[in-house]
A = this chain, B = another copy of it.
C-alpha cells in the first residue's frame, strides 16, 4: 500500500460519518484532488465541494470507484449491501475497502463473496453524534473512541496494519479485532439494547415539562433517543435475535429490582445495588 498522502481516497455516502472521515483524511494530509466522494444527495455533494473538502463529488459511484486505492463505504447496512451488489465491477483492482455498518454478520458474508482482487476489511467505528447528517460531521469526534474490525481470513496482514495505523492517526483509541458473530452479540448489548431502552424511556414519558425535574439522569439516559430512525430500525431488525435475548435478560434484572422494591426488602435490594456499583466500577476503561 502507498502512503496515505499518496492514495486516492473515495468516500461513498457523505452523511455524518462519511463527512467526518472526509475531514479526518484532509487533516492527515490527503490532498483535496485525491479525495473523492459520492452521495445520492446533490445538495450535500455541492456543500462538500464548496467547503473544499473533496475534489469531486458525484451521484454516480462508478465515476469514482475505478480510481480509488482506498474506499470508505459510509452507508446504512441495507444501502451498503445494495451498493456492493451494484458496484462490484467498478472497484479498482488491488483497492483496500472498508465499511462502517453497525452490524457485521451480513456485511462479512457479502465481503467474503466479493471480488477476490479487492481487499475488503469490514469495520465499525464506535463514534457518532445524536445530530446526524453531513452538516454535523464536525461534531463527530474520533479521539479515543473504540473501533471494531471483523477481518476476513483473506485480508492481507499489510492492509490490516495499514488500516489500523490510519485509524489511530485519525484519533481512534482501542482497535479490537473480532468475528462478526462476536461483534453483533456485543453490539446488541452496548449499543442496540441501550438505544431501545432510551427510546422506550422517552416513549413512556407522559409530561413534556418533566425536564424541570431533571437532575441529569433522564437527560443522560435519553440523549441517544435522538436517533436516526431508518438506520436504527434496520439495526434492530437485522440483529433482532441477539437484541431480543439481551432485552429478555435486561427485563429479568429490571423485574428483580422492581420486585424487591415492591416487597420492601431493603436488605436484598441494597445487596443488588452494591453489587451493581462494584460491577460497574470493574468495567471502567
Binding site for B on A (CB under 8 A): 126-128, 145-146, 148, 174, 176, 183, 186-187, 189-191, 193-208, 210-218, 220-227, 229-230, 232-234, 236-237, 240, 243-244, 246-247, 249-254, 256-258, 261-262, 264, 266, 269-270, 272-277, 279-285
Contact = CB atoms under 8 A, between A and B. Distances in A.
* Identical chains bound together, number: 2
Given A204-B252, A227-B273, A227-B276, A194 B210 contact: no
A283 B220 contact: no
A276 B225 contact: yes
B251 A251 contact: yes
B276 A202 contact: yes
Contact of A273 (B216, B233, B269): B233
Contacts of A275: 203
Contacts of A237: 261, 264, 266, 269
Given A196-B254, A240-B261, 12 more contacts: A126-B213, A145-B215, A145-B216, A186-B207, A197-B197, A200-B253, A205-B283, A216-B224, A220-B220, A222-B283, A229-B274, A232-B273
Nearest to A232: B273
A236 B264 CA distance: 9
Contact of A283 (B186, B193, B208, B281): B208
A211 B283 contact: yes
Given A194-B221, A264-B240, A266-B237, A211 B276 contact: no
Contacts of A279: 202-203, 205, 208
B176 A212 contact: yes
Contact of A211 (B127, B225, B284): B284
Given A191-B215, A261-B244, A284-B211, A199 B276 contact: yes
Given A205-B279, A233-B266, A272 B186 contact: no
Contacts of A200: 250, 253-254, 256-257
Contacts of A213: 126, 146, 148, 176, 183, 186-187, 189-191
Nearest to A127: B215
A220 B134 CA distance: 24
Given A217-B195, A270-B233, A146 B253 contact: no
Nearest to A269: B233
Nearest to A145: B215
A199 B18 CA distance: 35
